[in-house]
Amino acid sequence: MRRSVVRLLSTRRHWSSIEVKDEVKQGLKRNAVVALESTIITHGLPWPENLKTAQSVEEIIRAKGIVPATIAILDGKLKVGLTNEELVRVAQAKKAKKTSTQNLAAVIVESRLDSEIIGGTTVAGTLLACRIVGIDIFATGGIGGVHAGGEHTMDISADLIELGRSSGIAVVCAGCKSILDIERTLQVLETQGVAVMGYQTNELPTFYSTSKQLKPPIFAKDANFVAQWLDTSQQLNLPGGALIAVPHNDDSIEIAVQQAKEEAKAITGPEATPFMLQRIAQITNNKSIQANVALIQRNATVAADIALAKQPVQIVVFGVAALDHHHYHDNKVVVTSGGVARNIAEAAGRAGANVTLVSAIRKGDISHFDCSFCQYVQDETDMPNYQAHYDAFGSVTKESFFDGTQTYNDSLLKAVRTCIHKDRSKKLIILDADLPEPAFDAIEKYLLELPHTTLWLEPTTPTKASRLCRFLPYASLATPNSVELEAMAQTLGIQSDCIEQLAYTIATKTRTTLVVTRGHEGILVATPGNQIKTLHTTPIPLSFPNTTLGAGDTFVGVTAAAWIRLFRMDSSRLVDALSLGMKAAALTVQSPVSVHPSITPEWLDNTY
């Protein structure tokens, strides 16, 4: 969150004029709010289209796990976030006042005296509210600008001035309305220090169309780019905000715009835009209203995508925690925490990621699980365990793994069901194959409800790898070893004697990136439809005892942490994250524990 709502609004003076909805306060704690103006409701669209549009835009934003905050003045308060009843009041207002920076305080006072007076905030008024409470993404239809003849009349929208004051805030819109003097509007924005971006376009959007002559100064290729701009701008404390112009082309409406513009030459001031919008609707037989609704919804979608891209990704590891028993030749037994899921969670956590381990751990054994991750603790359950016996030279002479009883599987299922919820926060889920089938069923249902979740599959053994094939339609990544890959291929009915061909075919067929671990030979990376890449590793001498236990889990955990922390889950940088994961695995190979203790956020940053 850019600033604390509690700190800003804790005084009686602030609370007397501003009211922030509880849902918005909670959203601000995770920096997941998109602001919406209300002039479009009070002055831009007729009843009941205005209410339906406002509700649909809020729902579009909520569907992506982001909180919408429609801003308006009601009952003597600047309200940030409205209830549905308040939306209805705004949409039906008979005494609605277009509220910008210069009259915002006056409208608040007037609405205290007359509850029927409602202020519909303009872009400028909404930006002011965003600065007060700390919202950094705002979606609207379009912004005001320099009106025709503005070089003589000085008829320049306050929207431009407020954009110049709104440090680190992005306004997502369809650009400047084409009824304005676009070139002079751009010049004012440049003078005010506002970053003007074309969203996935090199032609400047001008509401219903794009300009063939004018190009946006900055090309924003996607939501990630804008999210990174916000982070960078806020770190540098740059003075101006950003205008994110989203293209929406409709040439037939643009013809009507030019006709209305000609008819409105004699009208100046705040009445000019409402007159032209009404004339455009008449000329197009209300087609422009439908176009307005579509572009507002499109802008809201882009704004929510940007807010989503800004979210810190939480890693959630579903799977088994186990106890590793190491039996040495001198009859000494050392018990350590283990299990594929637990090891992955520890490695990711040590590398600085935000991790939740969803597993079942017997309370009596909790002392062995000294990691600081969120864990589900269940009494009366038999822990899975790994038994390894070593000779005097540290070589494994005997090993076995106990999967746990039905009681443990029931506890795992309870853990999964308890931790699966619909908060829709951004997650990278890592799923190991040791879970019981009912837990898989619950997770699959969860994935269907949360389409924006990234899924990573970690087969644990060849016999269990095939169980994960059901998740391939949802998965972005899978990290089998060569033998596990062959088991998955057999389940999918794919045959080849060549590991590279198997990986390529499965990746192409399932649209899942496969990272095949091959021990000292390195890894193969197969992305859908692309060539195989091979990353080599340097042979590493084994530690005492001579075991690679935990190396693969360290590889997965550190790769995930690096991909999130350093590369914002950019698919083009996955190979860089994998290289860091391989270096971390090499450390664990030289350690007697499952995850090398020297792996830290600082180690990751310095190694990168």
Catalytic site residues?
37, 177
CB 287 within 8 A of CB 260: no
Question: Do 103 and 115 meet the contact criterion of CB atoms below 8 Å apart?
Answer: no
For 145, list phi and psi in degrees, rounded to 5: -165, -150
Tokens of 443: 């997770």
Contacts of 113 (CB under 8 A, 6+ apart): none
| Residue 293 phi, psi (nearest 5) | -60, -45
What is the token pair recorded at 338? 């283990």
Handedness of CA 71, 75, 78, 81 (dihedral sign): negative
Tell me the torsion sign for CA atoms 194, 200, 205, 208.
negative
CA–CA distances in Å: residue 589 to residues 519, 520, 540, 561, 596: 11, 11, 7, 19, 8
Contact 390, 396 (CB under 8 A): yes
User: Can you give the three-state secondary structure of 291-307, one letter per residue?
Assistant: HHHHHHHHHHHHHHHHH
Buried/exposed 5-42: b ≥16 CB within 10 Å, e otherwise: beeebeeeebeebbbbbeebbebbebbbbbbbbbbbbb
**Which two three-digit tokens encode residue 74?**
């009601």
Chain length of the chain: 608
Closest CA to 324 of 337, 314, 311: 337
Run of H or E including 7: helix 5-8
Q: How far apart are CA 263 and CA 260, in angstroms?
A: 5
Let me know the angle formed at the C-alpha of 438 by 432 and 444, rounded to the nearest 5 degrees. Answer: 65
Instruction: Please name the residue that has the structure tokens 């969803």.
Output: 358
**Angle formed by the axes of helices 574-589 and 551-565, nearest 10°:** 140
Residue 335: its H or E element: strand 333-338
Q: Tell me the C-alpha to C-alpha distance, in Å, between residue 283 and each of 216, 267, 294.
A: 30, 18, 18
